[in-house]
Amino acid sequence: MVRAKVLSINAPSVLDETALASLNELVELTVVDQAPHDELAPVLAQAVKDHGPFTACIFLLKWHEPLPFPLDEALLGSLVDSGTKLFSCGGAGFDRVDISYLTRKQVYYANNPSTVAIRTADSTVMMILQALRASSYHEDRLRQGLWHDHTVMAKDARKSTLGVVGMGKIGKMVADHMRLFGMKVIYTKRSRLAPSDEDGAEYVSFEELLSRSDVVSLHCPLTAETRHLLGPKEFESMKAGVIIVNTSRGPVVDEGALVDAMASGKVLRCALDVFEEEPKVHPGLLSNTKATLSPHSAVLNETVMADAEQELLENLFAFVRSGVPVTPVNLV
């Protein structure tokens, strides 16, 4: 069997022996080190000359090091022009990938949503509960040497409605978890789920979700249509005292409008893992103890890297064997 040539940005680091054996059996792996976009582009072009052409290119990124985004023609062109037909990177989001370019060239991009979905859902549930209970506010007072403030009360989950924007893998897990705390769940997405998949959640329009929800939790990808999905107009249409939770992408929320809505009392509290101009955070959020904030770390736990590598390789193996990855973002 002729092994497929694959270019990997960084070498696999946490795979078990079975996965490594499958990798070595199916592919001939060339590894280059991670670098920022403009530094990596000529490295990829040289790899094509020295070791290519490559069937696929995978990004086993070290997220604490400078990242090569965006994955665009300037970075990937030498690979695409030489015949690479699959690119895959960890994570569910693909807003930093030029999907339209790859699709025009009939090249797949596969995301890897399952690994991050479980961790993101867990973190979202934690942040919903923190916001319901005003935990950041009370912790800040305690650290100042103060005791509880009876004027700031927790909202009762059992008497609250959760509005899920984007009922995909993460949204469904969050809905399932929060239902156990007694929350009524309503949701909106581009098309309604099959009734058998709703598990009691009620499908509503985006506008109705905003007007009825006590907690709005965002689980949609960042696209041109979802950028500033929540802005001044949307906040105005919500209930007074609503809670906003965002673990999707920062620019889905207009941060300035959110700060204004919190100042007015329209938004009671918020919990955010993502921000509009990362790593910058709006000073109006940093100074507000009714905002629970996390530095885009929802997926970080001790097993995430091993699971992420395994999921990415499952996409690669499927493509090498059948010509189609498990979770393609685009159709070619």
From the number of C-beta atoms within 10 Å of its C-beta (0-12, 13-18, 19+), residue 13 rates as: exposed
CA distance 315 to 197: 25
Q: Which residues are catalytic?
A: 249, 278, 296
Give the up-direction half-sphere exposure of residue 40: CA atoms within 13 A in the CB hemisphere: 26
**Is the CB of residue 108 less than 8 Å from the CB of residue 328?**
yes
Task: Provide the phi-psi class of 107: left if phi over 0, else alpha when psi is between -120 and 50, else beta.
Answer: beta
Give the C-alpha distances (Å, rounded to integers) separating 49 from 128, 179, 224. 51, 55, 36
**Angle at the Cα of 298 from the Cα atoms of 297 and 300, rounded to 5 degrees:** 65
Place of tokens 């949503």: 113
Which helix (H) or strand (E) is 207 found in, with range? Answer: helix 206-212
Cβ neighbours for 102, distance < 8 A, ≥ 6 positions apart? 76, 80, 87, 108, 109, 330, 332
Place of tokens 């059992």: 158
Q: Is 31 within 8 Å of 62 (Cβ atoms)? A: no
